[in-house]
Amino acid sequence: MPGTFEPLPGGGAAVALDDVEISIIRSLAVQMMELIGPGPAEDASGDPLAELFADGPSEPPSDPVLRRLFPDAYGDPGGTPQGKEAEEEREYSSEFRRYTENDLRAGKRDNALAVIRSLDGITPAGEGGAVLELSPAESRQWLGALNDLRLAIGARLEISDEDDSDLLFRLPDEDPRKPMVMAYLWLGGLQETLVATLMP
């Protein structure tokens, strides 16, 4: 079971993680929360209804990681529409972003926080490792967080398609991107085995 999720009887998943793996995942989840930033209610004047009525941003983020996490809803990312079509796509994307991005950010924050809390709640099982057991709901949150972490690292590595990720396997050890590549591939393996545990 080391490094791979396995299904638990009755639903959920379990994985054995050592102290270094726990530290890496926790650190990445904390960085994700910092990157996404606080929610509107945390910036508001204490009004509990403020978040319900707060408009989100209407422009895409400038950070490439946030652009990958919160892409435009309309338009082909590889396409280059011209004139009126391009303007319409920008308007539709802007309107969609304004009404959905706050909720998307909240969901991603919740997933990252669930990862942090579950890692903080496990106790070592000897030899510096521990077994993490997740309920079905926690498994889905972990799946969302693992996906977001891989998207974030992929954006930093400028991976845009499967061909780019194949090149990562051939990086020399002295390449400064190597640690991020190793994390990207490892998280992909975790994600793949977690998906398998959630399949009916």
Q: Which of 23-32, 54-63, 100-109, 190-199 has the weakest average pLDDT?
A: 54-63
- Is the Cβ–Cβ distance between 130 and 123 less than 8 Å? yes
Count the Cβ atoms, other than its own, within 10 Å of residue 107.
14
Range list of H helices, 6-82: 19-36, 40-43, 50-53, 64-69
Place of tokens 């989100």: 56
For residues 189-199, average pLDDT = 94
The CA distance from 46 to 128, in Å, is 43
- Count the alpha carbons within 13 Å of 191 in the hemisphere toward its beta carbon: 16
Q: Is the pTM for the entire model greater than 0.85? A: no
- The pLDDT value given to residue 1: 43
Do the Cβ atoms of 16 and 67 come closer than 8 Å?
no
Cα separation values, 53 from 15, 49, 58, 67, 91, Å: 40, 7, 15, 24, 21
| Mean pLDDT, residues 86-114 | 88
pLDDT confidence bin for 129, thresholds 50/70/90: confident
Q: Over the stretch 43-58, which tens digit does the pLDDT of each residue have?
A: 445 565 555 556 777 7
Give the residue among 69, 78, 76, 77 at the shortest CA–CA distance from 97.
69
The residue type found at 173 is D
What's the pLDDT at 190?
Answer: 96
Mean pLDDT of all residues in the chain? 84
Q: What is the mean pLDDT of residues 9-27?
A: 93
Q: What per-residue confidence (pLDDT) applies to 75?
A: 65
Residue 23 has pLDDT above 90, yes or no: yes
- The answer on pLDDT for 168 being more than 70 is yes
